[in-house]
Amino acid sequence: MTFDRSIKIAPSILSADFANFGQEIEAVEAQGADWIHVDVMDGHFVPNLTFGPPLCAAIRKHIKTVMDVHLMIAPVDPYIDAFAEAGADVLTAHLEAGPHIHRTLQAIRGAGCKAGLALNPGTGIEDVEYLLDMVDLICVMTVNPGFGGQKFIHSQVDKVKKLRAMIGDRPIHIEIDGGITPETAPLMAAAGADVLVAGSAVFKGGSVQNPAPYGENIRAIKASIA
């Protein structure tokens, strides 16, 4: 994985057909997805359940781009090696998931993954300062994590601007997750984000049998920024 700040669209497979992940991933990559975002939920840190390392390992062979795994789980540390072995390129843990996020980020890099740090909408950026040398990506949640299709929380635009200034020249991606559409994407691109997760806005109207809407949806988000 090389670092650059170009805009990347990362479709969340939370909005794909759960019975058909392999083909959904191949279809959305063929239609222009830059990364594939994988939402792992434990029914404890967030009020929803999705999937774990075996599913990640199974879909890995269908991903040609970047496997971006968002862990909405607590605790995180006991599962890091399993997700790394499943092939995660980026492994993102929440700042709110436990008292030892510094150790968690060290362990993620130690397992050979890029380390991501996610912030809930109610979390400020003060606690990020002493983690900046530990992270390759900061994920600003623009919805409360747990579900796709929620409404974008506008207060997070200001947070991203402040975070961008704090990051300076460091090679750290700013990822936005939740409620990204052609209306909200330009706000975040202007604020300094480079990875835009989009679930419902990418997968709407399409299917494995009819994947063209995936491409139209991805291009509509990119065109809203250009």
Given the residues 39, 42, 136, 194, the one annotated as active site: 39
Q: Binding segment for ligand DX5 among 104-112, 161-169, 194-202, 214-222 (CB under 6 A)?
A: 194-202
Q: Which does 149 bind (CB under 5 to 8 A by kind): Zn ion, ligand DX5, none?
A: ligand DX5
Among 177, 179, 196, 214, binds Zn ion (CB under 5 A): 177
Residue 175 in the binding site for Zn ion (CB under 5 A) = no
Beta strands in the chain (DSSP E): 8-11, 36-41, 67-72, 90-94, 114-119, 137-141, 173-177, 195-198
Identify whether 169 is a catalytic site residue.
no
Residue 39 in the binding site for ligand DX5 (CB under 6 A) = yes
| CB distance 137 to 163 below 8 Å | no
Q: Which of residues 5-64 bind Zn ion (CB under 5 A)?
A: 39
Question: Which is nearer to Zn ion, 34 or 177 (by Cβ)?
Answer: 177
Q: How many residues does the chain have?
A: 226
70: CB partners within 8 A, 6+ apart:
37, 38, 39, 40, 92, 116, 118, 139, 177, 197
- Is 177 annotated among the ligand-binding residues? yes
Q: Which does 11 bind (CB under 5 to 8 A by kind): Zn ion, ligand DX5, none?
A: none
User: Helix, strand, or coil here: 150?
Assistant: coil
- Is 4 annotated among the ligand-binding residues? no
Shortest spacing between CB 192 and ligand DX5, in angstroms = 19
N- to C-terminal Cα separation, the chain: 24
Residue 114 in the binding site for Zn ion (CB under 5 A) = no
Question: What's the CA angle centered on 219, arms 215 and 224, to 5 degrees?
Answer: 155
Identify whether 39 is a catalytic site residue.
yes
Which residues are catalytic, by number? Answer: 39, 177
Query: Which residues of this chain interact with Zn ion, rule CB under 5 A?
Result: 39, 70, 177
